[in-house]
A and B are shown apart, each in its own frame.
Chain A
Amino acid sequence: MILSALLSILSSPALPAPPVAPAQEPLTLTAERVHLGDGRVLEGATVTLEGGKVVAVTPAPDAAATVPGAVLTPGLVDPYCFLGVGAATVEESREVTPAARVVDGARLDDPALANAWEWGVTTAYLSPDSLSVIGGLGAVVKTAGGEPADLFAADGAAMRVLEPEAGLRVAISVDSFFDNFTPSGRFTNSYHARRPNTRMGSVWLVREAFYAAQAYREARAADPEVAEDPELEVLVAALEGRVPVRFLARRAHDVQTALRLKDEFGWPRLVIEEAAESYLVPELLAETDGVAVVCGPLADARARVLATGPRREAMAEALDPPEICCEDQEVHDPYLAHAEVGDLSGTLHDPPAFLADVLLATLPRYGFASGFAAGRVREAERSTPASPGLLAAHGVPVFLAAGEGYGAADTEAGLMAQARTAVRWGLPLERAVPMVTHDAAELLGVGDRVGLLAPGYDADLVLWSGDPLDPASRPLLVVVDGRVVLDRRSQD
């Protein structure tokens, strides 16, 4: 054959494929400690998985553990991330695109999925990017089990969409007007010559859109002949609470704006995303019904240095300035206000020292959290790893999320690592696991199928090498829908 000599020229380069096992055989795991997800912990139990579901959770205090010392939790649920999401999911030539769906633009077999498995994340909310004021619909996905479009990926190494329309993305932060300029002047034929250019402009576009939705709803109710408008239908769904409004607000005044808009339009469900400065307005958040806060990736590195470094004494002094005047004048100092925050004791052995650490951690300009672009960092510069603890102490429903973390080589963004950070900075220990499993699943509206180790729930779980909040622990085994996506048992 003429071709035979040519055929051997090209060999098959061995490319690494994600380790997704195709089989869904019954799987039984026994661990010395099992977190069920809703706060209950069993000391010694056996979990049986079959057909992609949990079929039994049986207390077995004396049974031999699958891996000695290992701890089982449900698969983690990330309530806000950009896994597989790029700028191509947002159309910038218009500012308001409510009907755009992130699942129609996301890369469902993104290689960053491996980062999610690495950290035990089995369910996630994908948000559209924030470049438009109303950027469209976010989705709830499983991080494995879909059919990859990448021919080099293993079967199942793609996200599987559970709910394609799970939240409406609204962004009034700098993201939605960054780089825009007025049509007068330069480059008038660019789509960056668009509205808005300010926060006020962003908010007006939100209000204008919802006014139109209200009018549309009334018109449809009065006259069924009024033609259906897919974009306004989405906004009506948000007005009626069938879809939550997911509002990107990093600054405290943006959070207040979100609450004001919720009041104006009666959004039944509002989720504040990233929320870097939400700790400045905890009372406002606490007294509003139907609002939840998702804190972006926390990083405690810089705060920790400050709290333990040589400047600690000087900074503590700065926090407690000598009285200068005006005892009767009410001074609103948000940082001092935190000194009055109640029950933060008990998380560390030395409550007064802990409180001082929290104060240091909330100092302006030294925190560093979500957002990596320059404008976003500016908005998040007053973030603090103490936010979740402070908000939780006020009774605000608060959650943790990786945000943009999966694309970056940033281990702080690991969901359980964030829970660890949050606990270190004041979140009650017993809240940590439920916050990243059962409670997050409830927030996403999939609490009836994920986030809990109970019969009938999806077989999503993580076997940790030790206590999941121990910094030395890592996932040994990650299972999604009964399918093993990560197995490091043999390495330990």
Chain B
Amino acid sequence: MRILRPLALSLLSLFAASGLGAQEDGRPATVALLPDAVVGADGALEEGVHVVVRGDRIVAVGEAPQGARVVRLRGVLSAGMVDAFGVGSRRVTDDAWRTSPDLRAADGLDLDAERWTDLLAQGVTTVHRAPEPSNVLSGWGARVVPGDPARVADAELGFVASLAASWVADARRGPSSSAGARELLADRLPGMASALAGHPLFVVVAAADEVRAARELAAEAGLAERLVFVAHGDAGSYLGAARGSAVCLPAPRGGSDLARRAETWRRLHDAGFQPVFGTLDGAGDPGALRRAAQLWARATRDPASAWAAVTSRAAAVLGLEGEVGSLTPGARADLVLWSGHPLDAASRVLAVTVGGEPAWSRLHEPVPVRTR
């Protein structure tokens, strides 16, 4: 049932002066949010669930504790989405070097850009902002929290390498081919093994031989456990070689190949892949991540997998499991209030909190609100 209703008490009360960040007797207040429904871990809507927030954390999910202030929300509440591999429109790379393992994307970001707000408006609260993968060893990706004034939460979240010839081949400095790229990676990766331990290692690939090479080299360096393939180009033609590994699929910007992409994704799902998504192809398009999840849901008929891909699974790949991407006690209160199910293309973001603080809202315009 869809009814048009101006935003009234719910959002105002969420972001009122006595909101989530308020204090009682010097301690953070405990607020139990009761939306129309929450998006559960399996992507399904659950009604009557309180999300209890104290300070910047979720402290309980389910029943409201005694004495807690209950705030009724009109809309669907979910964890904020996680972009596992974002490459923005601004160039964050330096290909004067053949390899640039010491560069950090955090040092090249425009932290005041409107773009971060645009991401919040699309429900994205955590971004792994990767350096552009145009070097065999491109550097460190940053954990960026769009709603946080400081933005960069971790300047060395994950490491980005690339074997995709279309990215790294360079007539001026070499290598000329994925064979040469593989050689460079084989040369440098073992020496970096200790620095990379405990961090995800993203390797951009665009062909089966690159997948095999990355897997072999990561295994030799003891980094296989955190290896994530970032699939560039036509994944359907080669990603079968990555069976059993974590993969990050580019969120499509749109375009004419969506049918082929959907069919590719269906076959990936049939082959047992449970991917995460990154806005590699959708650079500059803040809505690309959610549309990727919607396309995965449509192609595979597995909305649970689709929702996890942009929340809990992405968090796990980034090593942020339990911190972001799920409505679980102990997680940061990065919450998004939607007008309907986030995988429904008609749904819109109504409000976002980051770490319990109001970060964005659609307060000033009437919006269609779906209730259940």
Known: A12-B263, A152-B267. A6 touches B294 (CB 8 A): yes
Q: Which residue of chain A has the shortest Cβ distance to B174 in the bound complex?
A: A93
Question: Which residues in B have their C-beta under 8 angstroms from that of A105?
Answer: 177-179, 182, 209
A 142-171 contacts with B by CB, 8 A = 147-153
How distant is A11 from chain B, measured CB to nearest CB, in Å? 8
Q: Which residue of chain B has the shortest Cβ distance to A189 in the bound complex?
A: B172
B183 interfacial by beta-carbon distance below 8 Å: yes
Q: Which residue of chain A has the shortest Cβ distance to B45 in the bound complex?
A: A2
A13 touches B263 (CB 8 A): yes
Known: A3-B297, A149-B208, A151-B268. A90 touches B240 (CB 8 A): no
Q: Which of A90, A109, A151, A190 contacts B179 (CB 8 A)?
A: A90
B53 interfacial by beta-carbon distance below 8 Å: no
B340 touches A2 (CB 8 A): yes
Q: Which residue of chain A has the shortest Cβ distance to B300 in the bound complex?
A: A7
B264 touches A7 (CB 8 A): no
Q: In whole angstroms, what is the CA distance A367 to B238 when docked?
A: 39
Question: Which residues in A have their C-beta under 8 angstroms from that of B208?
Answer: 107-109, 149-150
**Dominant secondary structure of chain A at its interface with chain B:** loop
A190 touches B172 (CB 8 A): yes
Q: In whole angstroms, what is the CA distance A87 to B179 when docked?
A: 9
Question: Which residues in B have their C-beta under 8 angstroms from that of A107?
Answer: 207-209, 238
B178 touches A88 (CB 8 A): yes
Known: A3-B344, A104-B213, A149-B239. A10 touches B177 (CB 8 A): no
A interface residues (Cβ-Cβ under 8 A, vs B): 2-3, 6-7, 9-10, 12-13, 15, 87-94, 97, 100, 104-109, 136, 147-153, 189-192
Question: Which residues in B have their C-beta under 8 angstroms from that of A150?
Answer: 208, 236-238, 240
B84 interfacial by beta-carbon distance below 8 Å: no
How distant is B347 from chain A, measured CB to nearest CB, in Å? 9
Question: Which residues in B have their C-beta under 8 angstroms from that of A92?
Answer: 174, 176-177, 180
B301 interfacial by beta-carbon distance below 8 Å: yes
Q: Which of B179, B239, B264 contacts A104 (CB 8 A)?
A: B179
Interface size counted on chain B using CB atoms at 8 A? 48
B 148-189 contacts with A by CB, 8 A = 165, 171-180, 182-183
Known: A3-B303, A91-B177. A151 touches B343 (CB 8 A): no
Question: Which residues in A have their C-beta under 8 angstroms from that of B303?
Answer: 3
Question: Which residues in A have their C-beta under 8 angstroms from that of B258?
Answer: 10
Known: A104-B182, A147-B240. A191 touches B212 (CB 8 A): no
Q: In whole angstroms, what is the CA distance A2 to B236 when docked?
A: 28
B298 touches A88 (CB 8 A): no
8 nearest CB pairs, A to B = A93-B174, A149-B208, A91-B180, A149-B241, A92-B176, A151-B267, A149-B240, A88-B177
Question: Which residues in A have their C-beta under 8 angstroms from that of B237?
Answer: 149-152
B276 interfacial by beta-carbon distance below 8 Å: no
Q: In whole angstroms, what is the CA distance A9 to B262 when docked?
A: 11
Question: Which residues in B have their C-beta under 8 angstroms from that of A147?
Answer: 240
B177 touches A90 (CB 8 A): yes
Q: Which residue of chain B has the shortest Cβ distance to A153 in the bound complex?
A: B240
A2 touches B343 (CB 8 A): yes
A88 touches B264 (CB 8 A): no
Q: Which residue of chain B has the shortest Cβ distance to A111 in the bound complex?
A: B237
Question: Which residues in A have their C-beta under 8 angstroms from that of B260?
Answer: 13
Question: Which residues in A have their C-beta under 8 angstroms from that of B241?
Answer: 149
Q: Which of B172, B175, B235, B294 contacts A91 (CB 8 A)?
A: B175
A100 touches B236 (CB 8 A): no
Question: Which residues in B have their C-beta under 8 angstroms from that of A108?
Answer: 208-209
| 7 pairs of residues in contact across A and B, judged by CB atoms under 8 Å | A2-B344, A6-B345, A13-B259, A91-B177, A91-B183, A93-B175, A149-B238
B271 interfacial by beta-carbon distance below 8 Å: yes
Q: In whole angstroms, what is the CA distance A148 to B213 when docked?
A: 16
B interface residues (Cβ-Cβ under 8 A, vs A): 165, 171-180, 182-183, 207-209, 211-213, 235-242, 258-260, 262-264, 266-268, 271, 294, 297-299, 301, 303, 340-341, 343-345
A191 touches B176 (CB 8 A): yes
Question: Which residues in B have their C-beta under 8 angstroms from that of A2?
Answer: 340-341, 343-344
Q: In whole angstroms, what is the CA distance A92 to B259 when docked?
A: 37
Known: A10-B299, A13-B263, A105-B177. A88 touches B165 (CB 8 A): yes
How distant is B176 from chain A, measured CB to nearest CB, in Å? 4
Q: Which residue of chain B has the shortest Cβ distance to A136 in the bound complex?
A: B179
How distant is B274 from chain A, measured CB to nearest CB, in Å? 15
B298 touches A9 (CB 8 A): yes
How distant is A113 from chain B, measured CB to nearest CB, in Å? 13
B266 touches A12 (CB 8 A): yes
Q: In whole angstroms, what is the CA distance A163 to B340 when docked?
A: 57
Q: In whole angstroms, what is the CA distance A333 to B260 when docked?
A: 60
Question: Which residues in A have their C-beta under 8 angstroms from that of B271?
Answer: 151
Question: Which residues in A have their C-beta under 8 angstroms from that of B294?
Answer: 6
How distant is B270 from chain A, measured CB to nearest CB, in Å? 8
Question: Which residues in A have their C-beta under 8 angstroms from that of B262?
Answer: 10
Q: Point out which of A3, A13, A192 has the most chain B C-beta atoms below 10 A from its C-beta.
A: A3
Q: In whole angstroms, what is the CA distance A87 to B209 when docked?
A: 13
Q: Which residue of chain A has the shortest Cβ distance to B177 in the bound complex?
A: A88
Question: Which residues in B have their C-beta under 8 angstroms from that of A106?
Answer: 209
Question: Which residues in B have their C-beta under 8 angstroms from that of A191?
Answer: 171-174, 176
Q: In whole angstroms, what is the CA distance A191 to B237 when docked?
A: 30
Known: A150-B240, A151-B236. A93 touches B176 (CB 8 A): yes
Known: A3-B303, A12-B263, A104-B179. A88 touches B343 (CB 8 A): no
Q: In whole angstroms, what is the CA distance A87 to B175 when docked?
A: 12
Q: A89-B179, A150-B236 are in contact. List 13 more A-B contacts (CB 8 A).
A: A3-B344, A7-B298, A7-B301, A10-B263, A91-B174, A91-B179, A93-B175, A148-B240, A149-B208, A149-B237, A149-B240, A149-B242, A151-B236
Known: A6-B345, A104-B182, A148-B240. A192 touches B171 (CB 8 A): yes
Q: Point out which of A89, A90, A104, A192 has the most chain B C-beta atoms below 10 A from its C-beta.
A: A104
How distant is A276 from chain B, measured CB to nearest CB, in Å? 27
Q: In whole angstroms, what is the CA distance A9 to B235 when docked?
A: 22
Q: Which of A3, A90, A93 contacts B343 (CB 8 A)?
A: A3
Q: Which residue of chain B has the shortest Cβ distance to A15 in the bound complex?
A: B263
Q: In whole angstroms, what is the CA distance A446 to B242 when docked?
A: 30
Question: Which residues in B have their C-beta under 8 angstroms from that of A7?
Answer: 298, 301
Q: In whole angstroms, what is the CA distance A42 to B267 when docked?
A: 47
Question: Which residues in B have their C-beta under 8 angstroms from that of A97?
Answer: 179, 183
Q: In whole angstroms, what is the CA distance A10 to B208 when docked?
A: 27
Q: Which residue of chain A has the shortest Cβ distance to B241 in the bound complex?
A: A149
How distant is B252 from chain A, measured CB to nearest CB, in Å? 13
Known: A3-B343, A93-B174, A105-B179. A10 touches B240 (CB 8 A): no
B182 touches A93 (CB 8 A): no
Question: Which residues in A have their C-beta under 8 angstroms from that of B213?
Answer: 104
Question: Which residues in A have their C-beta under 8 angstroms from that of B238?
Answer: 107, 149-150
Q: Point out which of A88, A90, A148, A191 has the most chain B C-beta atoms below 10 A from its C-beta.
A: A88
Question: Which residues in A have their C-beta under 8 angstroms from that of B180?
Answer: 91-94
Question: Which residues in A have their C-beta under 8 angstroms from that of B177?
Answer: 87-92, 105
Q: In whole angstroms, what is the CA distance A108 to B211 when docked?
A: 13
How distant is B165 from chain A, measured CB to nearest CB, in Å? 5
Question: Which residues in A have their C-beta under 8 angstroms from that of B298?
Answer: 3, 6-7, 9-10
Known: A3-B298, A13-B259, A190-B172. A88 touches B340 (CB 8 A): no
Q: Which of A88, A100, A152, A192 contacts B183 (CB 8 A)?
A: A100
Q: Which residue of chain B has the shortest Cβ distance to A8 in the bound complex?
A: B298
How distant is A114 from chain B, measured CB to nearest CB, in Å? 15
Question: Which residues in A have their C-beta under 8 angstroms from that of B263?
Answer: 10, 12-13, 15, 152
B171 touches A190 (CB 8 A): yes
